[in-house]
Chains A and B, each alone.
Chain A
Amino acid sequence: MYGFEPSDEQRMLIDAVERYAANQLRIAGREADEAGEFPQELIEKGWELGVLQASVPEAYGGFGDHSAVTGVLAAEAMAWGDLSGTLAVMAPTSYVIPILLGGTEEQKTTLIPPVIEAEWKPFVAAYAEPEFDFYEGDMKTRAEEVKGKYLLNGQKMFVPFADKAEAFLAFAMLDGKMRAFNVPAQTPGLTVGEREPLLGLRALPTFKLTLEDVSLEKKALIGGEDEHNASQIAASSKVAIAAMAIGLSKGALDYALPYAKEREVWGVPIAQKQSIAFMLAEMAIEIESNRLLVWEAAWKLDEGDPDAARSAYLALSGAADTAMMVTDRAVQALGGHGYVREHPVEMWMRNGRGIPVMPGLAMV
């Protein structure tokens, strides 16, 4: 049976996340963007909501079954508040979820609990690379087997909190396939670069990470010699980011709507002009329709549907276009004021442009 409403349990989580997004993230977003980071206690508060913990079974330190749908609902609700903040809170998901989905039993029991049992800790993925046509199926970072060990070489970018990370989940090509490796921060051959200056996401500290002959024990390979489903991990990341794109877009629309009702031109609110009203209507339509594309992709992931990877790809494509269209129009609805940093819409537009390159920063 088709169904379009979250369960009661999901609703409770969404409500809690929505309160955090509205009362904490959205209020702190601008200041954090200028300061370059969110206060640690704010990230902790987001972590305490237990979005990731709810998706990890008890055996590995969590308190629920993995559900991409629940993850997507939470990610969407949180990103309504602030995208950088959401990616900060959710950064450990990009370390934990690939291990949960593809790790050996031993990896799951040893690597996951330390990350999720206590306060927020910077365990993160090293995924994207500094290439204009970066594609996860053809990463430049390589792993090769040398004398019973794995040797990794390559360069990563957009690695969040790399300066204080305790461990990285580094993605590299091994025998032509994308694989993940657990790399503790102190491993020789790792160099954390300078903090990256970005167009958006300024409240999320990200870094380049260079891997030069990084030598790893066999057990570092997630899933071991057995092939694990790389496309599922890539898809999980795409739907996570797609969900955030929807939340970001909804946040921008919800800002533009009341503004357009307040701001007057020739004595009437601009929202009473069709040129503005239709623009807003189209924003809402794109959000509502593409949201369902994201939900469906997440549902397919949970169902183990073989079409999940393609669905996730299409969902991210649609959500990324939605985010750009909606955040651009939110700026437009505010006119010149939208361009001024007193309003958040210019920040959301900068954040919105980055959606297509964000996979790897979070997973569901």
Chain B
Amino acid sequence: MKTKKKTTNNAPRAVAPQLLAAPVPKLSSSEASVSLDIKAHGLEPVLGAAYLMMDKAFVSLSGDRTKTIVVGLRAKDPKAVKPKALAAEFLADLETQKVRWAVAKNNLPIREFIAEQAVLIANGTIPAPSPAAAAPEPAAEQLTDDQRAEIEKLISEVEAEIKTMNDKKIATDPKGVKASWEEKQEQEHKA
């Protein structure tokens, strides 16, 4: 079945960068430090932006990861890059990290669902779509209320299924990756 779905999860939306008050870095002759409210900026974007600075700077993190983190940046080559420039680059990375993380979180169930469908196609449980069968479907804005409700139901089912799979204690070797060629042949003969 060819299904086009409108997602409905309530994952975070990034705020347009210009609406946020940019954190003000503290600058010394050798170091920049930026104090960041984790509730406002999110932990992953802060850590992600700090990680990206590691080619140019020695990066230190201090504080409480549930409240405020102070990111310290000291240039690896102080002659090539000044603390002010390091801070500016970090803050630009931070804004982009917020967008990247928001997009990733919003789409996690969809990515998991498609990966799961891929496994099912690969092991022959469901057929691969034939290009000829693919017919144009109505755009999301043209869907009826019933269609929207059905899609929302489908998505919540998939999300629940993924959660159950993740929660379950999966057997040691559910896919049989440890089976040798001979064992696989034997299983196929039995089947």
Do A and B come together as binding partners?
no
- State the B residues within 8 Å of A (CB): none
